[in-house]
Amino acid sequence: MRYNYAIEIGGANTTIFAREQGFVLKEPTLVAVETSTEGYKVKAVGDEAKKLVWKTLDEVEVFNPMANGVIENFEYAYLMLLTFFKKIKYKKSSNILVLTACGLSSEEKDKYYALFEKLGFNEVSLIPSVLCALVGQNVNILSPKATMIVDIGGATTDIAVVNLGSILKGVTLGIGGRAMDIALSNALAMAKDGILIGLPTAERVKNEIGSLYKNDTLNMEVMGLDGASNMPKTKIVSCKDIRHVFEAFLEEIVRTVNVTINTLPPEISADIIKNGVIFTGGVSKINGLEEFLKNNLTYNFTISDDGENVAILGGGKLISDEQLLKRVLAE
């Protein structure tokens, strides 16, 4: 069967890959909704919605219609995706491969099927994004040798052990890049000479000076509100001031990796110890992750060169290789 599109509705971004075209859209998974006397209406989605985060009046709310990889608000998810697909001039009655989180229930899967059928797609197939990430990482997921992947995304962290094209064991943690942004914002507010910042600023701080290196000296000027007077202020934030935020999240992920490996049959854990653990996802690009893992993880590991896009790239490979996709979906 010929698939025309692959899509990943991530905690941070939604990305669409079109067969024979490549990337055709990547925008924030956000909807801005305005309340009025007539009810609720969508004001903006994607890039335009992100511009409104923390800059709106009380009657405008900006939110992600997904929650931990699950469709939380069906109607707004539909309106967001409809806008995205109209942008790329998609063909209705075509087929689509949808990348999802691990461990969805049958009810949660049914919501995905209903969503894309409402968008006009003919054949809708769901596939765990961790399998696509391994394909994007050029791993043979049909191999009898087990592989472990840790995908640190915008909303969740998926930890999965893959063997013969299927997931032997999967764990989803409700922590990701957005949770780090919230923790970072709270840490700066509670610090001595605290400063109040919004999540877009926290995300920028994370991306620009976030580091796990203990001797890193990066810093940046941040604008926000004084924690005591609520008046505008600026503050120089050092990566040393916020390193503990990232360490706490990574320590929890490493702990879960160790627990997962320790619960596997000896033959499977031996494969992982030999082959190592693969780290992907947008947060995998944080400075100092390699050194942190060397100090805290007792197994070999690999960090993806393009962790943010490797899953959708793998999805793109699968829709371009009908035989491989057929075998993977059959597992």
How do residues 215-237 score in pLDDT, each as one tens digit?
A: 999 999 999 999 888 899 999 99
Query: Which residues fall within 8 angstroms of residue 229, CB to CB, at 6 or more apart?
Result: none
Sign for the pseudo-dihedral over CA of 289, 294, 296, 297? positive
Token code pair at residue 306: 């393009």
Average pLDDT value for the chain: 93
Given a contact cutoff of 8 angstroms between Cβ atoms, the answer to whether 172 and 103 are in contact is: yes
Question: Contact at 8 Å (CB) between 63 and 30?
Answer: yes
- Residues 279 and 276: their CA atoms lie apart, in Å, by 10
| 221 Cβ contact partners less than 8 Å away, ≥ 6 residues apart | 234, 235, 236, 237
pLDDT of residue 227: 83
pLDDT score at 57: 62
pLDDT classification of 290: cutoffs 50, 70, 90: very high
Which of the residue ranges 26-40, 78-92, 300-314 would you say has the lowest mean pLDDT?
26-40
Query: Is residue 106 over pLDDT 70?
Result: yes
Indicate the pLDDT class of residue 35, thresholds 50, 70 and 90.
confident
CA torsion angle for 182, 184, 187, 191 (degrees, to 10)? -140
Query: Tens digit of pLDDT for each residue in 162-188?
Result: 999 999 998 889 899 999 999 999 999
Segment 232-273, tens digit of pLDDT: 999 999 999 999 999 999 999 999 999 999 999 999 999 999
Distance CA 316, CA 23 (A): 9
Predicted local confidence at residue 59, as pLDDT? 77
| List of domains in the chain | 5-29+64-132+310-330 (3.30.420.40), 140-303 (3.30.420.40)
The pLDDT score that the predictor gives to residue 34 is 87
pLDDT of amino acid 58? 67
Which of the pair, 58 or 116, is modelled with greater confidence?
116
Please give the structure tokens belonging to residue 120. Answer: 């006009």
Length of the chain: 331
Q: In the sheet that 166-173 helps form, which strands lie side by side, from edge to edge?
A: 166-173, 157-163, 147-152, 277-280, 301-303
Is the full-model pTM beyond 0.85?
yes
Strands 5-9 and 96-100: parallel
Nearest to 277 by CA among 100, 68, 130: 130
Mean pLDDT computed over 110-127: 97
Q: How far apart are CA 147 and CA 166, in angstroms?
A: 11
Strands (E), the chain: 5-9, 13-18, 22-28, 31-36, 39-45, 60-63, 66-67, 70-71, 96-100, 124-128, 147-152, 157-163, 166-173, 195-196, 219-226, 232-238, 277-280, 301-303
CB-neighbour burial class of residue 19 (10 A; exposed 0-12, middle 13-18, buried 19+): middle
Which pLDDT does position 200 carry in this prediction? 87
What is the C-alpha separation between 55 and 61, in angstroms, rounded?
A: 10
Confidence of residue 330 (pLDDT cuts 50, 70, 90): confident
Diameter of the chain measured on Cα atoms? 63
What is the per-residue DSSP string for 241-278?
A: HHHHHHHHHHHHHHHHHHHHHHTS-HHHHHHHHHH-EE
User: Confidence band (pLDDT; 50, 70, 90) for 56?
Assistant: low
Query: Average pLDDT for residues 78-90, to the nearest whole number?
Result: 96
Query: Does residue 291 register a pLDDT over 70?
Result: yes
